[in-house]
Each structure stands twice: as C-alpha cells, then as structure tokens.
Amino acid sequence: MEVQIAVAKVNKYAISESGDTLEVVERPNGGLSVVLADGQTSGRGAKAVSQMVVRRVIGLLAEGVRDGAAARAASDALFTEKQGKVISTLNIVSVDLRSGTIVLTRNNPAPIFICRGEQMDVIDEESIPLGTSRNVRPLITEIAIEPGLIIVISTDGLTHAGKRRGLPMDVGATIGSVLEDQDPSPQMLADSLLAQAVSLDEDRPADDISVVVLKVTARVGDNVRRMTVRLPIERSARLS
C-alpha cells in the first residue's frame, strides 16, 4: 500500500501572508503527521497564532505525545496567553504505522469528508477551536489504513467560499463529482476543490484556504518515500 497526501493552499486575496499554517512531520514511532491550524482573523497576527499552535503541536508529537494530548496542550497554552481573545482551529492527520491506522484530531467547525468507494461519510459534529476556554476537547476519529480510502480536510476558507455572493460551496458535491472521474490523484482532488472555491469567490479568495487530501492506494512499488513542494514566488514577495 501507499499513503499519498496532497496539499493545496492559497492566501486570502491581497494578503501576502496566509493565516493558515501547515507542517508535515515524521512521527517518532513511524509514519507522519500533517498539522494544520487557522488563526483567527487574517494576515500577520493570524499567522503568528497558527504558527505558534503548529510549532507546539509538532514539538509535542516529536516527543511521542499523543495527538489528542498535543491538541489540548496547544489549546491550554493559547488560552493562557490570550485569555480566550484569540482562537485557532486545528486539524491533525496522523498516519500511525504502529497501529496501522489514520488518526484524525479535530478542533475545527469545518467538516471532514471520508470516502470509501461510493460511500461518503461526513464528520461534522460540533467542534470547538483551540483557545476558547480552559477545557477544550478535540474530537478523535481512528480509521484503518485501507486501499481506496480518501480523506479531505480543510480550513473554513473552503466551506465558506462563495457565501459572500450567496452561492456557497458544496464541498461534498464537488468531491463526489471529482471522484466520478477515473481515480484522481490526491493532488488533482485538492486542486479541484481549491479551484472551485476560488472561482466561487470570483478569483479573490475571501479567506485563506488550505485543503489536505489523503488517499490510500493498493500500489505495490518501490520502498521510496517521496515528497514534492511547489512554492510560487510573487515579485512583490521577493522584493519586500
């Protein structure tokens, strides 16, 4: 089998710095974790908050702390520092090779979509962002690693796309229509979702948008781990 993870990420229109922070780190006992945070508001302040949350979580995961405990610790630290005035969403997607499972940790109102063949499950129970109070609990979902599994996670920029114009994005329907194509790559699915959202926002995203797609394939190939990162450079960013 192979686990493939794709990320597509865009900034709010006319804001050079995304308030979303995403990092992928190795787990000390095998596998990896994707950590995604969206700090309240946008621009530099939001970036500082989401970076702080992600740094703390990856530091704890690196020490072998479990995902749920890392989320609670990051929430307590944020609440202690900001007294509930600044909050941040958090999603952790962990491929845990020891248990043979994918562990989803969620402190984010935005739903998680889980697809297996024709079936699509939506995880959308009420979920509270980090830093809102002293005792924030993450929602944890554990799923066996199986070929055909597809998981879609995003920040609320995706689910809120188009709302400004009264044409809200239907994320589930978009996933369904892309999956009707022949076996899309996770990058293609992430790109399609992002493109749809940006289009609904008339090419001027109303918020930072980050989409993470995880796909498990039956593929038996070499044992090579691979990673590709693509970083567009705007002229203004280079010269500032």
Burial label for 239, CB within 10 Å (0-12, 13-18, 19+), is exposed
Give the nearer residue to a copy of itself in terms of CB position, either 103 or 128.
Answer: 103
Token code pair at residue 213: 């797609």
Distance (Å, whole) CA 52 – CA 75: 11
Q: 69: Cβ–Cβ under 8 A, 6 or more apart, which residues?
A: 60
Shortest Å distance, C-beta 52 to a copy of itself: 9
CB of 144 or CB of 173, closer to a copy of itself: 144
Could you tell me the smallest distance in angstroms from the CB atom of residue 70 to a copy of itself?
A: 15
Query: What's the min distance (Å) between Cβ of 98 and a copy of itself?
Result: 7
Phi and psi at 52, nearest 5°, equal -60, -45
Least Å from the CB of residue 73 to a copy of itself: 16
- Nearer to a copy of itself among residue 30 and residue 84 (C-beta): 30
Min. distance of Cβ 22 from a copy of itself in angstroms?
8
What is the binding site for a copy of itself (CB under 8 A)?
1-11, 17, 21-26, 28, 30-32, 51, 55, 59, 62, 95, 97-98, 100, 145, 186-187, 190-191, 194, 221-234, 237-240
The first and second tokens of residue 183, run together, are: 């076996």
Distance (Å, rounded) from C-alpha 145 to C-alpha 118? Answer: 17
| Residue 83: C-alpha distances to residues 80, 90, 118, 175 (Å) | 5, 18, 45, 38
Which are the contacts of 48, defined by CB distance < 8 A and separation ≥ 6?
A: 39
Element (H, E) at 51: helix 44-62
- 134 or 238: whose CB is closer to a copy of itself? 238
Q: Closest approach of Cβ 166 to a copy of itself, in Å? A: 25
